[in-house]
Copies of this chain bind each other. A is one copy, B any other.
Amino acid sequence: MPQTRNAYPLLGLLNLRSWSTYELAQQVQRSLHWFWPTAERRLYDEPKLLVELGLAEATEEFTGRRARREYRITRAGRRALRLWINEPSAPRTCEFEALAKVFFADAGSIHQLESVIDGIAAESIDRIKQLGEMLEAEAPFPKRAHVSVLAMQLQLEQEEGVLHWSQWARTQIKQWRSTKDPGDWPTEALRAELAARAHPRAPGE
């Protein structure tokens, strides 16, 4: 079966309709990218690999002299897609450079930390806006609205969570003397509160 990381997500899109490569690239940017980021460069080679494996078919079409490859899923492709759902999923990973900067904030100044946090806020506001636009636009696949809404619920909540955290963090660091000295900020109490949340215990325990 497919060896590359993008094979199944791409089969997922091909299962919705046929696409030209350029259209695929655009659709990946619009929807898949939120939870399956990949370089556009790959999107021109990967469908060809699917064709080699019999999971997709390609036709070449022309606009004047400009060629375009259009891909369509095969029955074997649909079957592979269905089986993929059964397989254990890879652990979730998140690449968050700004949070790394927060984690190493004591290497810089409070002003720098403020900027980083503001950047985090701005990004989540922008992503929430983008999600909003997608939710309000005419749905490209109306019959799939229910699964789309199910997934977007999580996407939106994650973005809201990041935004709320950034607002909270902004208020908290105001109490710090410096990035190296939190002054009277209740570090220990917050640590204990987080620990309790991570280990829910019965009242008597």
Contact = CB atoms under 8 A, between A and B. Distances in A.
A194 B152 contact: yes
B132 A199 contact: yes
A178 B202 CA distance: 38
B119 A104 contact: no
A53 interface: no
Given A35-B94, A108-B82, A150 B131 contact: no
A179 B144 CA distance: 9
A148 to B, nearest CB: 7
Given A35-B100, A179-B147, A165 B194 contact: no
Of the candidates A93, A112, A146, A161, the one having the most CB atoms from chain B within 10 angstroms of its own CB is A146
Given A153-B194, A165-B154, A190-B149, A89 B101 contact: yes
A158 interface: yes
Nearest to A101: B85
Given A35-B95, A168-B153, A169-B150, A104 B89 contact: no
Copies of this chain present: 2
Given A95-B92, A119-B88, A165-B154, A106 B147 contact: yes
26 contacts: A12-B100, A35-B94, A37-B95, A81-B108, A82-B112, A84-B101, A85-B108, A85-B116, A86-B108, A88-B119, A89-B119, A90-B95, A90-B97, A92-B99, A94-B94, A102-B154, A103-B147, A103-B148, A105-B147, A129-B198, A132-B198, A135-B191, A145-B191, A153-B169, A157-B161, A161-B161
Interface of A: 8-9, 12, 15, 31-32, 34-37, 78, 81-82, 84-86, 88-108, 112-113, 115-116, 119-120, 123, 128-129, 131-132, 135-136, 143-154, 156-158, 160-162, 164-165, 168-169, 172-173, 176, 179-180, 182, 185, 187-188, 190-191, 194-195, 197-199
